[in-house]
Amino acid sequence: MQAHLDHLNLLSLRLFLAVVDLGSIAEAGRQHFIAPTAVTKRMQELEDELAVQLLYRTPKGVSPTPAGLALARHVRNMSSLAERMRTEMTEYAEGARGHVRLIANASALIEYLVEEVADFMTAHPGIHIDLHEARSDQVVRAVRDGNADMGIYAPPVTVAPELEVYPYRDDRLVAVVPAHHLLAGRSSMTFAELQKHLFIGGNSGSSLAALLLQESPGGVAHSFRVDSNDVARWMVSKGLGVSILPEGLVTPHEASLGIRAIPLTDAWARRKLMLCVRDSQGLTAAPRAMLQALREPPGGSGPASA
């Protein structure tokens, strides 16, 4: 077996991971600019080298066998290690003291993360922060695939078992209504009450959309559906309907847009933002320092409990 492992081709392993993630040999070939026939040949060679079937092949596409799932997990670990190696060598080459790739959903960014990153950069001026916004499902995927050192997301989201997950901060969801709306004078309300009005929903792939669907067994009746929180706020301001958004994405805009944030009394409207990382012990110094800072509760009294 050792002789087989010594001859494994890194490109073939990357292609295999793409085939698993995309469920298609043709799509994997397009992604890597390689002909499907060449990808097929490499997959067969990989199976021959390891003496095990890695893929189930059907007219509708391909899917990994149990052995294929195990190999995919190892390849992801290898990719993450290679990326950490590349990043650390780049830091030495550029004379920098560190680099952190951080990804988070909009709610975490606006309510907490921007200020915390600013404080971290003041305390660590030699560390470069590469910060990106994404939906919660995209956040956990980026961390899983080694494209980010750590990420912050809001449940409900499917999280790969190999990720380490820690509580981050609280996030409150509010009803968003026009300032002149008949609900505008309310001090609180339930989601059921809000659903009686024209409702503006967000991206169907977002964690918020998944949460609302989870809490509405009969489904959510959308009058409109948009991809952007900014668009949802703007439509509410024009009287086109009501919506639900994280409080931090609404209250700063109440006066300028003529909208109101009204607390929801539903228990699920108070959710916990989560922090995920692939391997805290394998992080280089800069990401490790950022992870420690983000796990500090407000007030800095030590790491938050797992």
Which range is most confident: 219-228, 260-269, 293-302? 260-269
pLDDT band for position 218 (50/70/90)? Answer: low
What pLDDT is stored for residue 303 in this prediction? 52
pTM of the model: 0.63
Where b means 16+ CB within 10 Å and e means fewer, 98-117 reads: bbbbbbbbbbbbbbbbeebb
What pLDDT is stored for residue 78 in this prediction? 84
Task: Judge contact between 56 and 65, C-beta under 8 A.
Answer: yes
Q: Which of 74-88, 145-159, 180-194, 223-237 has the lowest mean pLDDT?
A: 74-88
What pLDDT is stored for residue 243 in this prediction? 94
Give CA–CA dist 177/196, Å, rounded: 13
Q: What is the pLDDT of residues 129-141, one digit of tens each?
A: 999 999 999 999 9
Dihedral sign computed on CA atoms, order 113, 116, 118, 121 = negative
What pLDDT is stored for residue 118 in this prediction? 94
What pLDDT is stored for residue 213 in this prediction? 82
Tell whether the model's pLDDT for residue 250 goes beyond 60: yes
Fold topology of 2-76: Arc Repressor Mutant, subunit A (1.10.10)
Q: What is the pLDDT of residues 74-112, one digit of tens each?
A: 998 888 777 777 766 766 565 446 889 999 998 899 889
Give CA–CA dist 277/71, Å, rounded: 21
Tell whether the model's pLDDT for residue 113 goes beyond 90: yes
- The ranges of the chain annotated as CATH 1.10.10.10 are 2-76
Mean pLDDT of the residues in the chain: 87
- The ranges of the chain annotated as CATH 3.40.190.10 are 170-270
Dihedral sign computed on CA atoms, order 22, 145, 209, 240 = negative
Beta strands in 17-163 (DSSP E): 55-58, 61-64, 98-104, 127-133, 150-153
Fold topology of 170-270: D-Maltodextrin-Binding Protein; domain 2 (3.40.190)
